[in-house]
Structure 1
Amino acid sequence: MADATSTTPPRTHWSGAADQTELDRWQAIAEGVARELAVDVLERDRANEDPRRELQLLRDSGLVNLLDPAELGGGGAHWETAFLVIRTLARVDASVAQVLAYSYINKSNIGFLLPREKQAEWYRATIDGQWFWGDSVNPVDPDLQLTPDAGGWRLNGVKHFSTGASVGDRILISAAVTGGDRDGQLVLFVIDAGADGVEPLGDWDALGQRLSASGSVRYTDVRVTEADLLGVLTEEPFANLITPGIQLAFANLYLGIAQGALEQARDLTRARKNAWFLSSADRYRNDPFVLRVFGEFVARVEAVEALADKVGRRFDSVVELGDAVAFETRGAIEVDIAKVKIVSTEVGIEVSNRVFEVTGSSSAKSSVGLDLFWRNIRTHSLHDPVDYKKLEVGAHFLNGEFQPISLYT
Structure 2
Amino acid sequence: MTALHAEPETTTATTDSVLTVDGVRAAIGPVLRRLGESAALREQTRDYAFADVADLAAAGIGLVGIAEDDGGAGGSLREVTEVIIDIARADSSVAQALRSTFLIANQVASRPDLPHRELILARLRDRDLFAGTANERTGGASGQTNATARREGAGWVVTGEKYYSTGGLYASWFSTQARAEDGTLVRFLVPLDRAGVERLDDFDAVGQRLTASGTTRFTEVRVSDDEVTVLGDSQPDNPWAGSFAQLYLAAVQAGIAARALDDAVGYVREKARPIKHSSASTSARDPYVRETIGRIAARAQAARAVVLLAAEALEDIRGLTGDAAREAGAAAAVHVAQAGTIAIESALNAAELLFDVGGGSITDRALGFDRHWRNSRTAANHNPRQWKDAVAGAYHLTGEEPPTTGLF
Q: CA deviation at 1:238?
A: 5.6
Corresponding residue for 1:293?
Answer: 292
Q: Report the secondary structure of 2:257's partner residue.
A: helix
Q: CA deviation at 1:94?
A: 0.6
Q: Distance in 2 between matches of 1:381 and 1:391?
A: 16
Equivalent position to 1:134, from 131, 136, 139 = 131
Q: CA deviation at 1:115?
A: 2.1
Aligned AA for 1:65? L
State the percentage of identical aligned residues.
27
Q: Distance in 2 between matches of 1:31 and 1:392?
A: 38
Residues 1:229 and 2:232 are matched in the alignment: no
Give 1:9-408 correspondences, 5 Å limit.
Answer: 24-110=22-108, 115=113, 119-128=117-126, 130-138=127-135, 140=143, 142-179=145-182, 183-184=183-184, 186-232=185-231, 236-237=235-236, 240-272=239-271, 274-321=273-320, 326-408=325-407
Q: Distance in 1 between matches of 2:223 and 2:73?
A: 30
Q: Distance in 1 between matches of 2:373 and 2:152?
A: 47
What TM-score do the two structures reach when normalised by structure 1? Answer: 0.86
Is the CA contact 2:148–2:180 (under 8 Å) kept in the aligned structure 1? yes
Aligned AA for 2:207? G
Q: CA deviation at 1:204?
A: 1.0
Q: CA deviation at 1:188?
A: 3.0
Q: Distance in 1 between matches of 2:374 and 2:334?
A: 27
Q: Distance in 2 between matches of 1:234 and 1:211?
A: 38
Q: Distance in 2 between matches of 1:241 and 1:25?
A: 32
Is the CA contact 1:114–1:231 (under 8 Å) kept in the aligned structure 2? no
* Cα pair distance change 1:166/1:272, threshold 3 Å: closer
Q: Distance in 1 between matches of 2:74 and 2:227?
A: 25
Q: Distance in 1 between matches of 2:30 and 2:156?
A: 44
Q: Distance in 1 between matches of 2:134 and 2:104?
A: 10
Q: CA deviation at 1:112?
A: 5.8
Q: Distance in 2 between matches of 1:75 and 1:22?
A: 4
Q: Distance in 1 between matches of 2:175 and 2:105?
A: 8
Q: Distance in 2 between matches of 1:118 and 1:218?
A: 24
Q: Report the secondary structure of 2:98's partner residue.
A: helix
Is the CA contact 1:199–1:217 (under 8 Å) kept in the aligned structure 2? yes
Q: Distance in 2 between matches of 1:319 and 1:134?
A: 25
Q: Distance in 1 between matches of 2:206 and 2:38?
A: 19
Shifted more, 384-393 versus 168-177: the winner is 168-177
RMSD: 2.5
**1:333-390 Cα shifts (integer Å, max 9, x gaps):** 1100001100000110111122101122211112222122122112211111111111
Q: Distance in 1 between matches of 2:238 and 2:134?
A: 15
* Cα pair distance change 1:202/1:274, threshold 3 Å: closer
Q: CA deviation at 1:285?
A: 1.9
Is the CA contact 1:111–1:119 (under 8 Å) kept in the aligned structure 2? no
Corresponding residue for 1:9?
Answer: none
Shifted more, 391-400 versus 55-64: the winner is 55-64
* Cα pair distance change 1:274/1:153, threshold 3 Å: closer
Aligned AA for 2:280? A
Q: CA deviation at 1:281?
A: 2.4
Q: CA deviation at 1:76?
A: 2.5
Aligned AA for 2:64? L
Q: Distance in 1 between matches of 2:212 and 2:64?
A: 21
Matched pairs, number? 384
Corresponding residue for 1:10?
Answer: none
Is the CA contact 2:148–2:181 (under 8 Å) kept in the aligned structure 1? yes
What TM-score do the two structures reach when normalised by structure 2? Answer: 0.86
Corresponding residue for 2:9?
Answer: none
Shifted more, 383-392 versus 307-316: the winner is 307-316
Q: Report the secondary structure of 1:171's partner residue.
A: strand
Aligned AA for 2:278? S
Aligned AA for 1:408? L
Q: Distance in 1 between matches of 2:335 and 2:286?
A: 38
Specify every segment of 5 or more residues in structure 1 that has no aligned partner in the other structure, as ranges: 1-20
**1:130-152 Cα shifts (integer Å, max 9, x gaps):** 11010022363533222222122
Q: CA deviation at 1:327?
A: 3.1
Shifted more, 118-127 versus 198-207: the winner is 118-127
